[in-house]
Structure 1
Amino acid sequence: MTTTAINPYLNGNFAPVREEITTNTLKVIGELPPDLSGMFVRNGPNPQWPPIGQYHWFDGDGMLHGVRISNGQATYSNRYVRTQGWKIEQATGKAVWSGLLEPPQMDNPHGGYKNTANTALVWHAGQMLALNEGGAPHAIKLPDLQTKGEYTYNGKLVSAFTAHPKVDPNNGEMMFFGYSFTPPYLQYSVVSAAGELLQTVPIDLPMGVMMHDFAITENYTIFMDLPLTFNPERVQRGEPMMMFERDRPSRFGIVPRYGDNSNIRWFESSPCYIFHTLNAYEDGNEVVLIACRMKSTNVLNDDSSLVPDADIPRLYCWRFNLSTGKIREEMLDDVPAEFPRVNENYVGQPIRYGYAGKLAKSSLPLFDGLIKYDLSNGKSQTHEFAHGCYGGEAVFAPRLDATSEDDGWLVTFVHDESTTTSELVVINAQDVTAEPVARVLIPQRVPYGFHGSWVSEEQLRNSL
């Protein structure tokens, strides 16, 4: 049984597109900047077949949508990430796995879980990886978006791989983690600039938690032990395995980059949930974390007892004093916002600017604009999409030979609900309230999705 007729994530612009196309020389309204050259790729859920039972937005097969920009022109292509699960269901001609809202399929001969590779992307060591936090990354060939296969660092990958690894722009190292329902609940890894997996160490947690994101600074890595917990005992009582425990504090663990469980320091704060961090950096004897904070979350269960305004993310700042052990928590903006991003050249470094999607007043995760935060003065500016138009995460594409942190463009897909058409918008990051400098018309609908990446022309030339 499927729920296509009533499930909002299978209808409208959340509904999948099944045709994979490649189109050259797209129509552009406005003008693509001559020094904007590279490829924007966005990942997202796109179920290949009608789902089994209840469908959650997180369940769909990964599909990549790519727009390559060069010499003022643009091309578009979209491709499924051809995971092992996708191949099995393609051969079977129907869905084989149920989703996150259904009980685990213990009797599934192909395994109880499908790695959908549907969440995010990272470019590192000449390789694009499509990510899903429950399994291994998948290597993607650019610019044609073909799947090369699972990427396990020559068999050294021993944990799941977060959807949000962090690449240090100064030395090229990449940090990632994997969480688990069973011990070790958290494992932390460092990859060299050349793509060699250097270390994987366990980090002790009292129980399993859903840890979607983390952060790095120049010298530290920050983990978030938040009270969205996994508890098999709850299942035996007929309760959800994953629940937000409002009586548990939030814990933030700060570990030296090449450290391990022996030298991690934990800081306790009020209960909350964080899906995405904006950035972190060091300020004297303090480590500063900026992220979108929610009071609690019912992401995978409908708990009507949650506090009012629970699932609404807003931009917050935490300061962890490594000398005194004290922590300060402060809301930076009261406007609901998610999918925060920075200029990737400033990851782990002090920043002035951040960007996020402005959440619309809707029961669905729709963004009706983009926010640019000026963290130096607490002010913000908003780019509003046209009425009835909704966008996604804004990825920062730096100008070649940029002279300042915000010297570049914000790039995202926008969908017009009235015409059911999609486009790529390019916004001057130094003038976000203005109209887009360019709108690239996409020849087919681009469903709402998750996270994207900008790959420069130089990186494309050096891709593996």
Structure 2
Amino acid sequence: MVTAAVNPFLDGNFAPVREEITADDLKIIGELPPDLSGMFVRNGPNPQWQPKGQYHWFDGDGMLHGVRISNGKASYRDRYVRTKGWQIEHEAGKAVWSGLLEPPQMDNPEGAYKNVANTALVWHAGQFFALWEGGAPYAIKVPELETIGEYTYNGKLQSAFTAHPKVDPITGEMMFFGYSFAPPYLHYSVVSAEGELMKTVPIELPMGVMMHDFAITANYTIFMDLPMTFNPMRMQKGEPGLKFEKDRASRFGIVPRHGDNNDVRWFETPACFVWHTLNAYEQGDEVILLGCRVNSANMFATEDVESDSQSNIPRMHRWRFNMKDGSVREESLDDAASEFPRINDNFLGQPTRYGYAGKIGQGSFEGIIKYDLNSGKSQSHEFGKDRCGGEAVFVPRGNGEDEGWVMTFVYDSSKDTSELVIVDAQNITSEPVARVLIPQRVPYGFHGDWISEEKLQKSK
């Protein structure tokens, strides 16, 4: 008898949880800091129904997992992002859309792909959004985590909306982009501190590419035209439409924040891919970019990369773009594999000394790396045997760049349980200051955010 292979994205801690629960007075190991008050929320895929066709991790419906912390106590809730597609499938009682591993459903009147709003989160101008780079953001009510609905800036949204918008902590402006596989391939937008979509301009690219992230400085926005290209001719031959072309150069476009296509300066480097940037800033004549770089990328790989292959392993990297003479210098900053980089967002776009990222081991995050970008040294917090974590979100405590905590959900495979782990950012190698035990398993997910108590009180 032949047993059907188990989809790895539906097994173990990738498997979805079906219940939306609310739980108060959670058990805590250690002690929650008395001055820690707000809500940690993480987004991730959690299919509502048995998937239709082949399933990839990126396909699952968005589910928000939130831990509210106040007065030394913690509560938990998880809620689906009730997108239009979620509602349609909920009423149908089954999956209507197939996923990214299947041909697009061009005959689906509701769209070839479903906006799953499962990737990341952002707080801006009193609103909290769940994001997916192929469509519009969804507004979320906090702390309830209930879905308000699709948000289009009063109909002004002209493109898709990146999962990684950037909010300038000084001006309050939010920059975002939307990429497309049909011309124009890229749109760039700026939202005012008050939440008004002020401008959208097209940026010319030679062809359609996947552009997952970007970066900002005090005065510039940096786009990455990397060789993860889309070619419909490949699809007609039965090949992947989206593919990394290792013989095609990478280009980095730097444009003044309020500029347009005519103002872009392009810099060329050898082929690479960057899923996530850490930060960018200006220093003299240079624009400096930091991010996790790979030599090549397999978009929909469902099997582990061979152990002797280094091309798909992400490592912290620095680029220096000279705005005066047009030169580029770049260097790897660490031998350790890492991804999902984060900083103290109060310093986004400014020179920073510290960065944090998930430490990759055996295909998952086994700890948190803290980078000292001035000295070139790093330290790690290890989750421990049978324990895997996620993106480490920085939570500010004071005015110092590393004055605060980093927190993430950690899954213990030996117990099949999850917890929120909180670590002192200035003592990253030490034991957690607190571990909040979650009453149900939290599946692996993508990106999170911290909403301070002040923001919760001002939410719309």
What is the TM-score normalised by the length of structure 2? 0.98
Conservation of the 8 A alpha-carbon contact between 1:208 and 1:230: yes
Conservation of the 8 A alpha-carbon contact between 1:221 and 1:256: yes
Residue 334 of structure 1 pairs with residue 332 of structure 2: no
Give 1:310 shift.
Answer: 1.8
Structure 1: how far apart are the matches of 2:301 and 2:5? Answer: 21
SS in 2 for 1:309: coil
Give 1:304 shift.
Answer: 11
Alpha-carbon deviations, 1:382-438, whole Å to 9, x = none? 000110000000000001xx1410000001000000000000010000000000000
Conservation of the 8 A alpha-carbon contact between 1:255 and 1:265: yes
224 and 303 in structure 1: CA distance in 2 versus 1, 3 angstrom threshold = farther
Give the superposed CA RMSD: 1.5
Q: Which one of 422, 428, 431 corresponds to residue 424 of structure 2?
A: 428
2:447 match: 451
Conservation of the 8 A alpha-carbon contact between 1:17 and 1:445: yes
Alpha-carbon deviations, 1:348-387, whole Å to 9, x = none? 000000000001123xxx1000000000100000000110
Tell me the amino acid that sits aligned with residue 416 of structure 1: D
1:159 match: 159
SS in 1 for 2:262: helix
Conservation of the 8 A alpha-carbon contact between 1:176 and 1:188: yes
SS in 2 for 1:459: helix
SS in 1 for 2:139: strand
Conservation of the 8 A alpha-carbon contact between 1:37 and 1:70: yes
Conservation of the 8 A alpha-carbon contact between 1:54 and 1:99: yes
Single out whichever of 405-414 and 292-301 deviates more from structure 2.
Answer: 292-301
Query: Structure 1: 5+ residue runs without aligned partners?
Result: none
Matches within 5 A, 1:368-387: 368-387=366-385
Residue 230 of structure 1 pairs with residue 230 of structure 2: yes
Alpha-carbon deviations, 1:54-110, whole Å to 9, x = none? 111100000000000001100000000000000000000000000000111122232
1:97 match: 97
Conservation of the 8 A alpha-carbon contact between 1:242 and 1:300: no
Identity, % of aligned pairs? 70
Tell me the amino acid that sits aligned with residue 44 of structure 1: G
1:185 match: 185
Alpha-carbon deviations, 1:281-305, whole Å to 9, x = none? 0001100000000010112257999
Residue 299 of structure 1 pairs with residue 299 of structure 2: yes
4 and 423 in structure 1: CA distance in 2 versus 1, 3 angstrom threshold = farther
1:313 match: 314
Residue 139 of structure 1 pairs with residue 135 of structure 2: no
Query: Structure 2: 5+ residue runs without aligned partners?
Result: none
Tell me the amino acid that sits aligned with residue 409 of structure 2: F
Structure 2: how far apart are the matches of 1:258 and 1:111? Answer: 33
109 and 4 in structure 1: CA distance in 2 versus 1, 3 angstrom threshold = farther
SS in 2 for 1:461: helix
SS in 1 for 2:13: helix
Conservation of the 8 A alpha-carbon contact between 1:240 and 1:301: no
1:130 match: 130
Structure 1: how far apart are the matches of 2:256 and 2:351? Answer: 18
Tell me the amino acid that sits aligned with residue 383 of structure 1: H
SS in 1 for 2:58: helix
Structure 2: how far apart are the matches of 1:69 and 1:196? Answer: 31
Matches within 5 A, 1:188-337: 188-300=188-300, 308-337=309-338
Give 1:308 shift.
Answer: 2.9
1:356 match: 357
SS in 2 for 1:77: strand
SS in 1 for 2:44: coil
SS in 2 for 1:156: coil
Structure 2: how far apart are the matches of 1:193 and 1:109? Answer: 36
Residue 121 of structure 1 pairs with residue 117 of structure 2: no
Tell me the amino acid that sits aligned with residue 334 of structure 1: D
Conservation of the 8 A alpha-carbon contact between 1:4 and 1:50: no
Conservation of the 8 A alpha-carbon contact between 1:4 and 1:10: no
Tell me the amino acid that sits aligned with residue 438 of structure 1: A
